[in-house]
């Protein structure tokens, strides 16, 4: 596991969680807005610890609660920005802020999702993003970044609103993505990464 929690501006990610199976695209919880977090309690801490353990087990840079089948608007991340510096965090009830259209530059890079493992395709997104929300103890948090971090913050916030990145693709691109995923299916059994 990386030492990235040392770089956390809002405290370390909780550890001691249980690795859970990944919920896949097509499951109802993945495609609806998630319930807001209203209790910042031990149950939330346990959920977040499980998210962290599952994210690391899957070699991901971010994970939302819906991706382990839990209907809550929360995600965790441990992700590098353009310079390679890692930021880690927990965001409940995220709100995404993007540059104004005139000041916006698109990153045309590839994107993937742990809930459709093994598949990647180009998905243009703004190359800078800021997310505001609440932390594990209910405190106000904000994270900003460029590069992969900007993509991650947008991708995970989307999950809390029931959007998978395939929703941002053309039908043709989505079919290509699905074919890639199907070719890799044997490497990702139904209980992955808990089975790993």
> Please, which residues bridge with residue 131 across strands?
96, 143
Q: Is residue 193 part of a domain?
A: no
CATH number at residue 83: 3.90.45.10
pLDDT band of 101, cuts 50, 70, 90? confident
Q: Is residue 121 part of a domain?
A: yes
Spatial distance between the Cα atoms of 196 and 193, rounded to a whole number of angstroms: 5
- Provide the percentage of residues in the chain whose pLDDT is more than 70: 94
Average model confidence (pLDDT) for the chain? Answer: 93
- pLDDT of res. 18: 97
Is 156 a known active-site residue?
yes
Q: Is residue 40 part of a domain?
A: yes
pTM: 0.94
Q: Is residue 84 part of a domain?
A: yes
pLDDT band of 5, cuts 50, 70, 90? very low
pLDDT of residue 111 exceeding 90, the answer is yes
Candidates 74, 71, 131, 145; CA nearest to 63 is 74
Strand-pair category, 110-112 with 140-146: unpaired
Angle subtended at Cα 118 by Cα 180 and Cα 50, rounded to the nearest 5 degrees: 145
What are the helix (H) ranges across the chain? 42-57, 147-160, 171-183
pLDDT band of 196, cuts 50, 70, 90? low
Q: What is the mean pLDDT of residues 172-194?
A: 96
Q: By residue range, what is the domain housing residue 85?
A: 4-186
Q: Is residue 109 part of a domain?
A: yes
Q: Is residue 191 part of a domain?
A: no
Torsion sign (Cα): 17, 20, 22, 23: negative
CB 62 within 8 A of CB 155: yes
- Which one of 27, 108, 156, 187 is the catalytic residue? 156
pLDDT in tens, 11-54: 579 999 999 999 999 999 999 999 999 999 999 999 999 999 99
- The number of domains in the chain is 1
Q: Is residue 130 part of a domain?
A: yes
Distance (Å) of CA 146 to CA 15, 26, 134, 150:
27, 30, 21, 5
Spatial distance between the Cα atoms of 4 and 29, rounded to a whole number of angstroms: 29
Q: Is residue 25 part of a domain?
A: yes
């Amino acid at each position: 596991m990386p030492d990235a929690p040392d770089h956390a501006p809002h405290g370390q990610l909780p550890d001691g969680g249980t690795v859970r199976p990944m919920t896949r695209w097509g499951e109802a919880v993945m495609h609806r807005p998630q319930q807001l977090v209203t209790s910042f309690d031990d149950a939330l801490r346990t959920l977040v610890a499980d998210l962290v353990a599952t994210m690391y087990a899957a070699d991901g840079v971010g994970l939302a609660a819906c991706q382990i089948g839990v209907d809550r608007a929360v995600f965790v991340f441990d992700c590098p920005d353009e310079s390679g510096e890692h930021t880690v965090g927990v965001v409940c009830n995220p709100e995404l802020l993007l540059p104004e259209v005139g000041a916006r530059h698109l990153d045309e890079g590839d994107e993937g999702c742990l809930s459709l493992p093994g598949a990647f395709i180009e998905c243009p997104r703004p190359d800078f993003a800021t997310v505001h929300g609440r932390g594990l103890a209910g405190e106000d948090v904000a994270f900003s970044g460029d590069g992969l971090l900007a993509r991650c913050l947008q991708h995970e916030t989307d999950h809390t609103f029931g959007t998978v990145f395939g929703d941002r693709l053309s039908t043709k691109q989505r079919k290509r993505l699905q074919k890639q995923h199907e070719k890799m299916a044997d490497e990702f059994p139904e209980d992955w990464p808990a089975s790993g």
